[in-house]
Amino acid sequence: MGRASCIIARAEATFATPEGQELQKKWGVPEDFEARCFVLLGSCRGDYPAEKPRKPGRSVIVED
């Protein structure tokens, strides 16, 4: 798809705030889920690096 990503930790602090908890409700994230990081997506310039293998069932995508 020509996309690149960057993972940033410390999402726990963001979603511990009242505003963060409201976003989780708005996005339909179950209350017993805890955010661990943010994933930023963008366009990749140049050669796209090889994809790393992922463990199945380890991530949930919530789209707004």
| pLDDT at 18 (0 to 100) | 93
CA-to-CA distance for 61 and 33, rounded, in angstroms? Answer: 12
- The pTM of the whole model exceeds 0.85: no
Domain ranges of the chain: 3-43
Residues 2-50 have pLDDT tens digits of 667 777 778 888 888 999 889 888 888 888 888 888 777 787 777 777 7
- Per-residue pLDDT for 51 more than 80? no
CA-to-CA distance for 11 and 56, rounded, in angstroms? Answer: 22
| pLDDT at 45 (0 to 100) | 77
CA-to-CA distance for 15 and 38, rounded, in angstroms? Answer: 11
| pLDDT at 58 (0 to 100) | 74
CA-to-CA distance for 34 and 48, rounded, in angstroms? Answer: 31
| pLDDT at 1 (0 to 100) | 61
